[in-house]
A and B are shown apart, each in its own frame.
Chain A
Amino acid sequence: MFTKKLTLGQRVKLDLSRNYQAYLMAIPAIVLLFIFAYVPMYGVVIAFNKYRPYLGVLGSEWVGLQHFRDFFASVFAWRLIRNTVLLSFYTFLFGFPLPIMLALLLNEVRNRGFKRITQTISYMPYFISTVVIAGMIREFLAYDGVITQMLVHFFDRQPSNLLGNPDNFRAIFVTSTLWQSLGWNSIIYLAALANVDQQLYDSAKVDGAGRLKQLWHVTLPGIVPTIVILLILSIGSMLALNDQKILLLYSPMTYETADVIGTYVYRRGIRQSDYSFATAVGLMNTTVNLVLLIVANWFSKKTTEHSLW
């Protein structure tokens, strides 16, 4: 093949002239991203100062790492970190593979009507507001709630408020999150599955592959790029817990397992407009996530050749 080294300028020029329509279309998205994701970024400065609206973002008194020290000085810091990491980890552990399995199972269903109904039902909870979901959970798990009563009758347990027991909190949180997001998250895999070349299945059949073999050697490899990208992304957002849902579900009784960094900051920072403290903790969280993302991406690049960048 004819290869001639082009200079960078030439390459850019060539690219622009060839793909200018694509670049034009990207402009709105880039502008949006710039305004909403990059311009506000200078605001993280307030994590290091004592922010007063009057003095402004740059004019407020500089306190350095004071807010970070404040956070770690709390006797609850370790418990908060532990709860945050564990809740995130469990949510990831179950929340990541299950949508893939659901998608694979749905893909094997041959009855189109049944498949569609199942799919619709499974992603319906995604559209219920978190507040309503939390209300339902509270109601069902109360002393005389439906689920509690079922446990009492089928397993002969003493009735008790399931949500009031710190030992149950993680299971309740993870299960309800799964119920809420399982169907929705499987949609993207279903889309990827639809793109797997039908000819591959046909030739696999000719080669004598059964259903399981087809799944293993055709379907899965076909969606591995999607899986890897989503895996990296979800590792990168691992510590971004749904604090709102925890706030709606927890109580002093379950602080032991349910109190996470986000809820603590809410009780301490937001309620009294302590923006700096909240920003500092948020920054910490984001930094950890960024590191996780980079590590996951690097690891994936090394091992699977698929990566975000």
Chain B
Amino acid sequence: MVMLILALLVVTAGACGQETTTTTTSGSGTTTTTGGDPSDDPFYIEGAEGKTFTYWSTMRNYESQYFTTMAEHPYYQWLEEKTGVKIEFIHPSWEQVDQQLTLMISSREFYDFLQDAWYPGGPQAGINEGCFIDLLPYLDSHMPNYKLALYDEGNELNSWEWSEAEKAIFQPQPQLPSFSEKMFTFDGQLWAMTDVWRDEIPAGCGPIIRRDWLEEAELDMPQTLDELEAVLAAFKERGAIPMSLPAAGYVLIWEGAILISAFDTGGYFDLGDDGLTVEDHTYIKDDFKDYLMLMRDWYAQGYIDPDFMNSDWDSTWSKMVEDNLGIWINYWGNPENIMGAYLGEEAFDIAPMPLPRKTTNQTLKAKQGYVTETTTWLSITTSCEYPEIAAQWLDKHYTKEAMLRQSYGIEGETYEMVDGVPLFLDSLFSDDSEPAEVKQQILMKPVGPHFWSTRADILFSQRGDNTKAGAAMEASLVWGENAEMKLRIPYTVFEDDDWGIQENLVTEVATYADPMVIRFITGQESIEEKWDEYVQTCINLGIREARDVWQKAYSKMLEIAD
């Protein structure tokens, strides 16, 4: 049985890179050049005609409901028509990803494109051991559009999308110029390409508050910790749980940083003010001690869910729908949550709450954004027979025309140009057959790395006003107020086993520290008496060594970027 599966896999893998005729595409297939010199066509790729590439990638939720393969996705059909390149998709299920990759590595037979493949041992090993090809030589010669997207901040694609009025409302900021560094290995090789965000997007995570309760208590939206405390007291009067604290296991990172951010620490190894040094882990910072003392007081007052250490998302959710929770933490665009809450009973009114600060003139350093996160990456493998054509095909995703197709769809069908700015047609939203973000995914967005338009996302949400997307965007704008993203260490590649080394150290520390943190908050251990001992234990367990590993890797990254 196993043998059979193995044999099948090898056979399929062996087929990659060849001009197979068994393509699953249902589009017209042949090209298109519109007369004249073919090199005038921005999508012309020399020798691309009839070539087929294999593309290994998982499918997103919505897509798997609509397509059996991404080759059926309108974007890829459009691109095939434009370029003449056929793509044969292979979609592993989420659970199979690691296993299939390991099998590919063992057999040394890869698909042409691997998406989101995390090579065991790191990207450099992926190149050295002959899995990924180094894309750097192709960047200059075959990927001019991608290069422009990465490096040229004056690129006209960076500003043309926004009308003046929109700029005033959304204040889009140019993307941090860190993308160029992301996909480089230590030896300065380019192991993958990634999506490029057009503009910085608002925060990705933050608190939600019961606005109706707030109004009944005749209180304003809390801005500072003091105001928040007054609100919590009022919520407690109602007999409800005033606020949930992040579920156990995530006490510090991500959601935890919402309340910690007022204390200028981000829940992990913080980046120093100079942008060069990696500071101590939040676990052992004095700021964190202050945070814990406040949480302890609030816990004693009954302001915090007495069950917080055991709550997971489901239990928090059920407390919320049972009308029993005042403030909780939410992710941007998490489908069921915001929509369900917004479209619920009329009396059930919620609103995003700004991240609480110590004083109103504090600018928070720990915003929860997605900016430094790479969402997808794509590598070309050594099994690919025509890497030049593959590189050029990928590059086409970053042309202006492709960007319009990815973000706005088809001119005349889904959008129109008004004063040089693309606007969605009403017809796109007038039929309610699908929620807006589903339409966006099944009509436009490719599965892999692409040029990502923040404006299109916002427009989508603004147009479908009462849908979750509208609420989500409102929320992320509120969460992004008065907050910068200074504490998060930008994407960092680790050398050899360093990633594992620091991960093991942090796991070891967390095994000790997480229960201690809960005990501090619940008052089972005295912060005043035990804090020093706690910090010392964390240090003994290696939290500083882990920091040094981060520092080493991050310094190296800075060096490469120079």
Contact = CB atoms under 8 A, between A and B. Distances in A.
Interface of A: 35-36, 39, 52-54, 56, 74-76, 135, 138-139, 142-144, 160-161, 163-164, 251-256, 259, 264, 267-268, 272-274
B2 A35 contact: yes
Given A76-B511, A267-B511, 14 more contacts: A35-B1, A53-B120, A142-B310, A161-B309, A164-B307, A164-B310, A251-B309, A252-B518, A253-B309, A255-B515, A268-B504, A268-B507, A272-B499, A274-B500
Majority DSSP secondary structure for residues of A touching B: helix
Q: Which residue of B249, B312, B314, B507 has the most chain A CB atoms within 10 A of its CB atom?
A: B507
A264 B129 CA distance: 31
Closest 7 CB pairs of A and B: A252-B514, A53-B105, A251-B248, A143-B307, A54-B129, A53-B102, A253-B309
Interface in B482-541: 499-500, 503-504, 507-508, 510-512, 514-515, 517-519, 541
A248 to B, nearest CB: 10
B508 A74 contact: yes
A58 to B, nearest CB: 12
B508 A252 contact: no
A304 to B, nearest CB: 39
B2 A252 contact: no
10 contacts: A52-B121, A53-B102, A138-B315, A142-B315, A160-B306, A161-B307, A164-B310, A252-B517, A253-B518, A267-B507
Contacts of B314: 135
B121 A252 contact: no
Majority DSSP secondary structure for residues of B touching A: helix
Contacts of A142: 307, 310, 315
A160 B315 CA distance: 16
A164 B521 CA distance: 14
B98 interface: yes
Q: Which residue of A39, A138, A251 has the most chain B CB atoms within 10 A of its CB atom?
A: A251
A39 B6 CA distance: 14
B121 A251 contact: no
Contacts of A144: 307
Q: Which residue of B101, B307, B500, B515 has the most chain A CB atoms within 10 A of its CB atom?
A: B307
B106 interface: yes
A135 B517 CA distance: 24
Contacts of B510: 252
Contacts of B121: 52, 54
B105 A54 contact: yes
A251 B500 contact: no
B221 interface: no
A252 B307 contact: no
A64 to B, nearest CB: 17
A129 to B, nearest CB: 15
B251 interface: yes
B309 A252 contact: yes
Contacts of B129: 52, 54
A163 B310 contact: yes
A75 B306 contact: no
A188 B396 CA distance: 65
Contacts of A139: 315
B124 to A, nearest CB: 12
Contact of B508 (A53, A76, A160, A272): A76
A255 B514 contact: yes
B339 interface: no
Contacts of A75: 508, 512, 541
Contacts of B1: 35
B341 interface: no
Contacts of A52: 120-121, 125, 129
A252 B105 contact: no
A52 B514 CA distance: 32
A251 B511 contact: no
A252 B310 contact: no
A131 to B, nearest CB: 11
Nearest to A162: B310
A253 B500 contact: no
Contacts of A143: 306-307
Nearest to B121: A52
